[in-house]
Structure 1
């Protein structure tokens, strides 16, 4: 019994997903100037999730 795993077009959205979340977690939080917290990491996480889902959607529609 042979099992073959090939890297095909699913590697593109995977690379996009990994790259976006590395970008999200690589940028440190900035100190806020008031009493609130820095919400930019949350916004970056949301942007990364949306771009990642869009890449997977394009992959699903093209294959």
Structure 2
């Protein structure tokens, strides 16, 4: 992704949430063959997947 299309987000999360993110990053690192995995990669993946689920649910709700 070109650097110009990226923004920096500064957020505060609980220590427990940060620890969970670290654990998820370790899991991704262990179970992918993409090389080094960064927190931003994991967060992007989680957000993209959540967005897809949300869009599907919105589409289903429109049908009823």
Whichever structure has more helix as a proportion of its residues is 2
Shorter-normalised TM range: 0.3 to 0.5
Higher RCO (CA-CA < 8 Å; seq separation 6+): 1
Q: Which structure has the larger Rg over C-alpha atoms?
A: 1
TM-score, length of structure 1 as denominator length: 0.43
TM-score, length of structure 2 as denominator length: 0.43
